[in-house]
């Protein structure tokens, strides 16, 4: 019989609401059912117990890059984020040569098959030169469905999401292709109009890549992608809650308008997350991180974040004053559903993986459990 442990006394955030003084049983790697009274128990009184975080947009951490690092580097990045409560994450790539990206897809797919990553997110190269952010301009290309197909094939079933600009030639066709293959078509790094964005959603796009960032602003005569993505019930909007990418009022506007069921908190983290200031590379470009803000050395564009999801949670609870149940949906449940992993992760329910985060009353991270083993002991 698997080892049994009871986590007792915490305020547990369940799909049905908050259970005061809750008891959660861990049986081996899973969340179990009822435990005998003599099972060893860990006292978590005065703490919150929430599901492990799920990050659907993450480029690396701990000094390591998912786009360019060795397998050991990628695992360093993964473990760094585990230590901050993210128990499930995809690896996001940045724009590169097609040959490089297809090769990288094959390499990362092995780490997905081993269970270290939950899938691959291709951010670029099919994005708009007008909204390239920290992607290298000369490597951008229009979204050719045949090339999109090549990336999916190279990823051998592990591609979860492709961020693209649907207004470019081949854009709508590529969105349809992704939707047909069960891969998320995400609208981002885009210069699309409101009408083009509506067309992309009708073609099957279901995610807004870091809403507000790398897209036209919301204008009263040209509402652009932001209005189209926020208003459509079929779309989930990614938000980077680091206090740099978004003003708290913009975050609140998105959260109120989309509702907690249609928001996904992401990090968009690069190498410096959980590591420190310094000079890094994001794909082929140099990035300087100063006081936790990553900017391109050339041009000064914001270049990903140094955010970890424990900080995003704390900000959401303390700065944005969002209800804890809503934060849990945005940081665990919704991304798990989008990635097709909701039968395993994303909520505290019997039979799911014992991926759990312990937070103090002030929402600072106190403990992390992944598949029944403590990564950070409370
Ligand atoms: Zn990104």
Task: Tell me how far the alpha carbon of residue 42 lies from the centroid of ligand 1, in angstroms.
Answer: 38
Residues 6+ apart with CB under 8 A from 47: 9, 10, 11, 358, 359, 360, 361, 366, 367, 378
The whole-number pLDDT of residue 162 equals 98
Percent of the chain with pLDDT over 90: 89
- Transcribe 249-276 into DSSP letters: HHHHHHHHHH-GGGEEEE--B-TTTTT-
E-strand spans in 147-232?
Answer: 159-164, 184-187, 207-208
- Residue from 272, 221, 268, 213 nearest 246 by CA: 213
Q: Is the predicted pLDDT of residue 36 greater than 80, yes or no?
A: no
What pLDDT digit, counting tens, does each position of 130-182 carry? 998 888 889 999 999 999 999 999 999 999 999 999 999 999 999 999 999 99
Cα angle 49, 375, 335; round to 5: 60
Cβ atoms 9, 45 nearer than 8 A: yes
Give the up-direction half-sphere exposure of residue 343: CA atoms within 13 A in the CB hemisphere. 1
Give how far the C-alpha of residue 171 lies from the chain's centroid of Cα atoms, to the nearest Å.
23
Confidence check: pLDDT of 1 > 70: no
Mean pLDDT of 208-221: 97
Cα–Cα distances in Å, from 282 out to 268, 270, 296?
A: 12, 7, 9
Among the listed residues 191, 268, 310, 353, the single catalytic one is 268
CA 22 to chain centre: 28
Domains located in the chain, CATH noted: 4-50+348-376 (2.30.40.10), 53-338 (3.20.20.140)
Residue 210 Cα to ligand 1 midpoint, Å, equals 8
Instruction: Decide if 268 is catalytic.
Output: yes
121/183 Cα distance (integer angstroms): 9
Q: What is the pLDDT of residue 39?
A: 83
Q: Crossing angle for the helix pair 98-113 and 71-82, nearest 10 degrees?
A: 60
**CA angle in degrees (0–180, nearest 5) for 321-326-332:** 120
The pLDDT, as a whole number, for residue 2 is 60
Q: State the chain's mean pLDDT as an integer.
A: 95
Residue 302 has pLDDT above 90, yes or no: no
C-alpha of 212 from chain center: 16
In order of 1, 113, 206, 336, 347, the CA distances from 342 in angstroms are 26, 18, 17, 5, 8
For the cut 90, the answer to whether the pLDDT of residue 43 exceeds it is: yes
Q: Which of 19-23, 101-105, 132-136, 270-274 has the highest mean pLDDT?
A: 101-105
Strands 48-51 and 4-14: parallel
Task: State in Å: Cα 305 to ligand 1 middle.
Answer: 9
pTM score, two decimals?
0.97
pLDDT per position as a tens digit, 230-262:
999 999 999 999 999 999 999 999 999 999 999
| Span 338-342, average pLDDT | 98
pLDDT band for position 194 (50/70/90)?
A: very high
Q: In angstroms, what is the span from residue 255 Cα to ligand 1's centroid?
A: 20
**3-class secondary-structure state, position 53:** strand
Closest-CA residue to 353 (of 1, 13, 26, 2): 26
Helix (H, G, I), strand (E, B) or coil at 207: strand
CA of 57 to the centre of ligand 1 (A): 6
pLDDT at 55 over 90: yes
């Amino acid at each position: 019989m698997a080892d049994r442990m009871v986590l007792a006394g915490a305020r547990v955030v369940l799909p049905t609401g908050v259970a005061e003084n809750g008891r959660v049983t861990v049986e081996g790697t899973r969340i179990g059912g009822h435990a005998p009274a003599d099972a060893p128990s860990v006292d978590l009184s005065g703490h919150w117990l929430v599901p492990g975080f799920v990050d659907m947009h993450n480029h690396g951490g701990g000094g390591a890059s998912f786009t360019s690092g060795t397998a050991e580097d990628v695992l360093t990045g993964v473990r760094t984020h585990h230590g901050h409560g993210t128990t499930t994450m995809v690896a996001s790539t940045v724009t590169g040569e097609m040959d490089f990206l297809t090769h990288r897809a094959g390499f990362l797919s092995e780490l997905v098959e081993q269970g270290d990553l939950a899938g691959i997110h291709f951010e670029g190269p099919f994005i708009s030169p007008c909204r390239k952010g920290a992607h290298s301009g000369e490597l951008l290309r229009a979204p050719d469905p045949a090339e999109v197909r090549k990336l999916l094939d190279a990823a051998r079933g592990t591609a979860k999401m492709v961020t693209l600009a649907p207004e470019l030639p081949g854009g709508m066709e590529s969105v349809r292709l992704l939707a047909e293959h069960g891969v998320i078509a995400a609208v981002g790094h885009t210069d699309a109009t409101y009408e083009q964005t509506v067309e992309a959603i009708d073609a099957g796009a279901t995610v807004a890549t870091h809403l507000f960032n790398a897209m036209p602003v919301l204008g009263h005569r040209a509402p652009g992608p932001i209005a189209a993505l926020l208003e459509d019930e079929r779309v989930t909007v990614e938000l980077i809650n680091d206090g740099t990418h978004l003003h708290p009022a913009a975050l609140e506007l998105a959260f109120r308008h989309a509702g907690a069921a249609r928001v996904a908190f992401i990090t968009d983290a690069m190498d410096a997350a959980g590591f420190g200031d310094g000079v890094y590379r994001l794909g082929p470009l140099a990035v300087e991180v100063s006081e936790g803000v990553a900017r391109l050395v050339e041009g000064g564009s914001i270049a990903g974040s140094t955010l970890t999801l424990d900080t995003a949670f704390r900000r959401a609870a303390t700065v944005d004053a969002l209800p804890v149940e809503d934060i849990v949906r945005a940081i665990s449940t919704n991304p798990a559903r989008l990635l097709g992993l909701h039968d395993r992760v994303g909520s505290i329910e019997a039979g799911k993986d014992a991926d759990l985060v312990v937070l103090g009353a002030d929402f600072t991270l106190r403990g992390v459990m992944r598949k029944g083993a403590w990564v950070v002991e409370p």
